[in-house]
Structure 1
Amino acid sequence: MDPLQLTIAGRQIDIGDALRSHARARLTTLATRYLDAGVDGSVNFIRDGSGYRTDCTLHLRSGLYLHTHGRSPDIYASFDQAAERLEKRLSRYKGRIRDHHGGAREALPMVPARDVVFQAPDPDAIVADANEPVVVSEATTQLRSLTVSEAVMQLDLADGPVVVFKNAAHGHINVVYRRADGHIGWIDPTLVTPSPAKAT
């Protein structure tokens, strides 16, 4: 079985067979070295000003995913930068990713959640009612049931700013996020002990 099902595309640019082969060979090598079969992924090449941006994403059958990007005036260098970042993350979490990706844990449990995107306020516009933001889109998404350490790993693997998840320890919604100082924050409402109500 092919270790990697890969989609390679250019956004508003034409990419040739040599670049496709280069990307496929590099990511297939990474998938073979660090993962088992059953990975699908995508590589998107995008014109970025006078250079290029490459986005690489791998989806594991466990539900975890990895995302990296690279930027360079040279399209090959932008891909190589993204692939190097991907390899560093795979190497850092190799054992834990294999545990998730292997047969012991086929898929992470999910819980449905509402996902709403609001329109960003226009700083020059006069707002008639600031309490009613304009809804741009609304959908249902799935939150994974994770331990806190798994959520921190997912935050790093996806190179994202935040992961909202169902805490596997107690079932409540938690958040891990990347702070401005580079550290990772954790929000768990269950850790707060409510103060006793005062008698009136």
Structure 2
Amino acid sequence: MNLLLTGQHVDVSPALREYVEKKLERITRHFDQIIDIAVVLGVEKPSEKEKRQRAEINMRLKGNVIHVEHFAEDLYAAVDCAVDKLDRQVLKYKGKVQDHQHESIKRSPERLEAPQPPGV
């Protein structure tokens, strides 16, 4: 798994990088078919009074991309909430993938037997 961590209008410190990597370990424990993860941390200024911290995560999986974004007053809180959202989406996606790997009805052993004509 490749991790790309970038900052928009904010410097990514080694402590912040380590914090994000530690939080994303939880995701990789649940699901190991991750191609790469791109994390964008930034500061948004909707008005001069209020500064909003943004954490955006894009996760590429085989045949799918999961995108989450969260705004908070603190950058660490934004990362926490974004990782929580990502964890819920990954578990949902994992459930869908596992449910579709069952044998199809067309190929079940009961359907493959030739039906007996009535009265035999």
TM-score (norm 2): 0.71
Contact 2:34 2:59 in 1 (8 A): no
Contact 2:53 2:72 in 1 (8 A): yes
Higher helix fraction: Structure 1 or Structure 2? 2
Task: Give the Å deviation of 1:38.
Answer: 4.3
The percentage of counterpart residues that share the same residue type is: 26
* AA aligned opposite 1:23: V
Task: Give the Å deviation of 1:24.
Answer: 1.1
From 5, 9, 32, the counterpart of 2:29: 32
Contact 1:70 1:80 in 2 (8 A): no
5+ unaligned residues in a row in structure 2: which ranges?
46-50, 102-120
What is the SS of the residue equivalent to 1:70? strand
* AA aligned opposite 2:52: G
Once superposed, what is the RMSD of the aligned Cα atoms? 2.0
Quote the Cα distance in structure 2 between the aligned partners of 1:88 and 1:38: 15
What is the SS of the residue equivalent to 2:54? strand
In the alignment, structure 1 residue 23 sits paired with structure 2 residue 24:
no
In the alignment, structure 1 residue 46 sits paired with structure 2 residue 47:
no
Contact 1:31 1:39 in 2 (8 A): no
Task: Give the Å deviation of 1:99.
Answer: 7.4
* Alignment map for 1:6-85 (pairs within 5 Å): 6-33=3-30, 35-49=31-45, 50-60=51-61, 62-85=62-85
Quote the Cα distance in structure 1 between the aligned partners of 2:99 and 2:38: 23
The one of the two structures with greater contact order (alpha-carbon pairs below 8 A, sep at least 6) is: 2
Residue 99 to residue 7, structure 1, CA distance change in 2 (3 Å)? farther
Partner residue in 2 for 1:95: 95
Task: Give the Å deviation of 1:39.
Answer: 2.1
What is the total number of aligned residue pairs between the two structures?
96
Contact 2:37 2:60 in 1 (8 A): yes
CA offsets 1:132-190 (integer angstroms, 9 cap, x no match): xxxxxxxxxxxxxxxxxxxxxxxxxxxxxxxxxxxxxxxxxxxxxxxxxxxxxxxxxxx
Task: Give the Å deviation of 1:68.
Answer: 0.3
TM-score (norm 1): 0.44
* AA aligned opposite 1:21: E
Quote the Cα distance in structure 2 between the aligned partners of 1:79 and 1:47: 13
Contact 1:42 1:58 in 2 (8 A): yes
Displacement over 6 Å in runs of 4+:
none
Higher strand fraction: Structure 1 or Structure 2? 1
Contact 2:28 2:34 in 1 (8 A): no
